[in-house]
Chains A and B, each alone.
Chain A
Amino acid sequence: MANAKQISVFVDNKPNQLTGVMKVIKENKLNIRALSLADTSDFGILRIIVNDTDKASDVLKKAGYAVTVTEVLAISIPDAPGQLSRVLDILGSENVNLEYLYAFTGASDKAVSFVIRVDDNSTAETAFTNGGIIILTEKDITEM
């Protein structure tokens, strides 16, 4: 499987909550490749992709955080108008429901990378491959 692993962390909607998570990341010399924060009035869900998923998940759990690891798709598309629309069309044509997505910077300034969370990874993956979208492997992300 080429899927990337994303770590989600439950954070309270209070001051200094994100600081606590980042402190654990920093103390364990982990590097964040991609990040997004979803928020509600009660809590937030921090989603990150790091260079060492197992270690990050382990140390965050030990620090008392609620953590879950999810397989997501990471793709790279040219930094040009209409490219994200193309990606969404591919998902739509296969009837794959998009939960959320977020962008992150890749190795090249001519391309943009996205983390894509869908309900059906394998259908989406096949559709992307057939549609000529570059899927990033965990190794690709780690080596960025």
Chain B
Amino acid sequence: MEKYWNQEIETMSREDMKKLQDERLVAQVKHVYENVEYYRNLMDEKGVKPDDIKSTDDLHKLPFLSKADLRDAYPYGLLAKPLSECVRIQSTSGTTGKRVVAFYTQHDIDLWEDCCARAITAAGGTEEDVCQVCYGYGLFTGGPGLNGGSHKVGCLTLPMSSGNTERQITFMRDLGATILCCTPSYAAYIGETLHDMGYTTDDIKLKAGIFGAEPWTEEMRHSIEQSLGIKAYDIYGLTETSGPGVSFECSEQTGMHINEDHFIPEIINPDTGEVLPEGEVGELVFTSITKEAFPLLRYRTRDLCVLSRKKCSCGRTLIKMSKPMGRSDDMLIIRGVNVFPSQIETVLIEQGYSPNYLIEVDRVNNTDTLDINVEMNPEQFSDKVKDMQEQEKSLAQAIKLMLGINPKVHLVSPKSITRSEGKAVRVIDRRKLHD
């Protein structure tokens, strides 16, 4: 029996959902236009007035908002409520430049945590569960979001934050954690450490994991599911829209249901901005229609994915988005070819290698080089040099088949690549140093 956190919303008919979205969008555009000068200027430039937006059919008339706008408007430029009504700030990691700060009223926190509660419920969570949250707590939205969702559901919440992996496992065992929330790369590391400590999945009670905040592949999912003896669910979100819980996976594990009552998704052609029909790959754009303090209209996520309204066996009618193929800024252009680290991850796991790897891109004599450091598989270790070189060669060939360009594969010692306790660093691009 499928359980829902909010059955009415999660299984609402398309007509009713559209009606709800129409009402909320009209009110939201008015709220933003009246309270955010930055956005009012953008709309005026485009010649759009709040009255022009009568329903979601008019969404395309609104201007886009990009990460650059968020940086321009830092810190208060997009705030739509007085600071006295705000109760929380969260922030992006700021790895790609200036930090983005997002503001929340109590209403915003409630709706965010509600979205996370839907995700936990879809992963089978109830008040009987013990939910171990090892996303980072603090400015990063992962920890606070899932922590709040777990409270709403009524799970016994273990606010572990990330790090100290052996202690994570001790708590997991001693307190019988049944649901694990963290980044997929940290889940893989926890699984590896569990086995290194001499335990098996029989020694833990975990049944489900809710993993997000970085791109991961189906192969990585199978590998984590096996290592921890769980069902692994994807969760999606970004600080700009609230945090994790914008969309979440159900038992069908074929994409993430978007909480459409709060966030309207669109897929656009990233080059032209043209809205693409359902089923086409493009950049995901979100309009938050319920947030008060930091309501972004038509925010370009830079994530590439596909939307689908195909009927889902879980009974939810919420539109589904595919696993993002990667954030468009994760994409590397090497010798003119688009490369996503996730493609390399897929091949590694298929060939029996660890999902811990490091891609190094450089430019030598005006030619891009692609070096991939891969942890050798101890079970395939041979005393013969030619056997080991053969492994490097066959892995390089498999990656070439996937990418279309020749990489150099370097085998390194098992567990010698730094494990991530949060978002994994998979790429070092030295070309930027030369520019």
Contact = CB atoms under 8 A, between A and B. Distances in A.
A47 B381 contact: no
Nearest to B377: A66
Contacts of B389: 40
A60 B62 CA distance: 63
Contact of A11 (B384, B413, B415): B413
Contacts of A64: 413-415
Contact of B392 (A11, A17, A42): A42
Interface in A89-105: 99-100
A6 B413 contact: no
Contacts, number: 55
A68 B412 contact: no
Interface in A6-40: 6, 8, 10-12, 17, 38, 40
Interface string A53-91: 000000000001111101000000000000000000000
B94 interface: no
B307 interface: no
Interface in B391-417: 392, 410-416
With a 10 A CB-CB cut-off, give which of A6, A12, A66 has the most chain B CB atoms.
A66
Contacts of B385: 38, 40, 45
A70 B416 contact: no
A65 B413 contact: yes
A135 B254 CA distance: 62
Given A12-B416, A40-B389, A43-B388, A68 B383 contact: yes
A56 to B, nearest CB: 14
B97 interface: no
Contacts of B182: none
Interface residues of A, number: 21
A43 B411 CA distance: 7
Contact of A66 (B376, B384, B392): B376
B383 A42 contact: no
A10 B384 contact: no
A68 B377 CA distance: 12
Contacts of A65: 413-414
A6 B384 CA distance: 12
B392 A68 contact: no
Contacts of A42: 392, 410-412
B410 A10 contact: no
B382 interface: yes
Contacts of B411: 10, 42-43
Nearest to A42: B410
Given A10-B413, A42-B410, A42-B411, A66 B383 contact: no
Contacts of A8: 381-383
5 contacts: A8-B381, A10-B413, A40-B389, A65-B414, A68-B383
Interface of B: 376, 378, 381-385, 388-389, 392, 410-416
Given A8-B381, A40-B389, A47-B383, 19 more contacts: A8-B382, A10-B378, A10-B388, A10-B413, A10-B414, A12-B413, A12-B416, A43-B376, A43-B388, A43-B412, A43-B413, A45-B384, A45-B385, A64-B413, A65-B414, A66-B378, A68-B381, A68-B382, A100-B384
Instruction: Please list the 7 inter-chain residue pairs (A to B) with the smallest Cβ-Cβ separation, ordered nearest first.
Output: A8-B383, A66-B378, A42-B410, A66-B381, A68-B381, A70-B383, A38-B385
